[in-house]
């Protein structure tokens, strides 16, 4: 592994069941649980976010990636060693989250194959309670800009919003406790105004009972919600959603 400091039967407009092989003009998203998504670009580049070490969300032996991003060094986000292949790993925050270590952002703005990736620092918790940091990762590929917020714990500042930029697809935690609640998630979504899709993540399930809120609690009273019975969906770049959709994917142990 190289180290650089630097994820259905139901379909909706532009979204359908995952395919076995990647095709031109298609991007695949697979959710392995918690904050772990695999994004496969139309060129076949595999990007994995925040692989976790949780008993209820095992990393499949067959899971391989070309690029892994780690928003911070907690065990439910940095199990990069369980991933097959020879991925490049991008750590957003320096070192394990040990007490006494001054945590800092590792600035990243780089190109990997057909993907540009950059990051922005934010607070893991309310800054009045903790100074621990988290790295937001932003990916640009296939004409899309995708933001994975990691364990964001507070609303964004104007400076952070500007650095993130205009977002098409947003992966946002909604489970509370260690990160933002559904109400706070709504606030962040209003700040970023994602154009195409919101993918809730890091929510309470049988595999993650330590969180406060389920995906359904976040989705309550929302319109344009699509529940896909599989773990994956394909986004057809030729037929994108005409309005923003909330898309929830089922992980095997949820």
> What would the 3-class secondary structure string for 162-202 be?
HHHCCCCEEEEECCCCCCCCHHHHHHHHHHHCCCCEEEEEC
What's residue 98's pLDDT?
A: 59
What pTM does this model have?
0.87
Q: What is the mean pLDDT of the chain?
A: 84
Rg (CA), the chain: 17
Cβ atoms of 124 and 72 within 8 Å: the answer is yes
Stronger pLDDT, 182 or 202, i.e. the higher one: 182
Cβ atoms of 37 and 31 within 8 Å: the answer is yes
**118-137 burial: b if 16+ Cβ within 10 Å, else e:** bbbbbbbbeeeeeebbbbbb
What average pLDDT score do residues 205-215 get? 89
Q: CB burial class (10 A; 0-12, 13-18, 19+) of residue 59?
A: buried
End-to-end CA distance of the chain: give it in Å, rounded.
Answer: 30
pLDDT digit string, tens, across residues 28-53? 999 998 889 999 999 999 999 999 78
Stronger pLDDT, 58 or 217, i.e. the higher one: 217
What average pLDDT score do residues 206-224 get? 91
Q: What percent of the chain lies above the pLDDT cut of 90? A: 56
Collapsing DSSP to helix, strand or coil, 112 comes out as strand
Model confidence at 12: pLDDT above 90: no
Residue 30's DSSP bridge partners are 38, 232
Model confidence at 11: pLDDT above 50: no
Q: What are phi and psi of 116, to 5 degrees?
A: -100, 135
Model confidence at 135: pLDDT above 90: yes
Choices 3.30.70.100, 3.40.190.10, 3.10.270.10, 3.60.15.10: CATH for 2-249: 3.60.15.10
Task: With cut-offs at 50, 70 and 90, classify the pLDDT of residue 248.
Answer: very high
What average pLDDT score do residues 47-76 get? 85
What's residue 6's pLDDT?
A: 34
């Amino acid at each position: 592994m190289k180290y650089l400091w630097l994820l259905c039967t139901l379909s909706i407009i532009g979204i359908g069941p995952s395919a076995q092989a990647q095709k031109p003009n298609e991007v695949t998203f697979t959710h392995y649980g918690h904050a772990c998504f695999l994004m496969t670009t139309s060129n076949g580049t595999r990007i994995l976010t925040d692989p976790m070490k949780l008993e209820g969300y095992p990393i499949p032996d067959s899971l391989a990636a070309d690029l892994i991003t780690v928003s911070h060094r907690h065990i439910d986000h940095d199990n990069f060693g369980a991933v097959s292949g020879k991925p490049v790993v991008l750590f957003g925050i320096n070192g394990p989250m040990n007490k006494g270590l001054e945590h800092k952002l590792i600035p990243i703005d780089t190109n990997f194959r057909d993907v540009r990736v950059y990051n922005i620092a934010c607070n893991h918790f309310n800054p009045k309670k903790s100074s621990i940091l988290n790295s937001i990762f932003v990916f640009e590929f296939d004409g899309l800009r995708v933001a994975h917020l990691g364990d964001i714990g507070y609303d964004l500042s104007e400076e952070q919003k500007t650095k993130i930029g205009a977002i098409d697809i947003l992966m946002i935690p909604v489970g509370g406790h260690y990160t933002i609640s559904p109400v706070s998630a709504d606030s962040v979504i209003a700040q970023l105004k994602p154009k195409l899709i919101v993918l809730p993540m890091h929510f309470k399930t049988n595999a993650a009972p330590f969180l406060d809120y389920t995906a359904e609690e976040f989705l309550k009273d929302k319109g344009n919600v699509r529940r896909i019975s599989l773990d994956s969906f394909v986004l057809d770049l030729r037929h994108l959603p005409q309005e923003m959709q909330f898309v929830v994917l089922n992980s095997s142990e949820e």
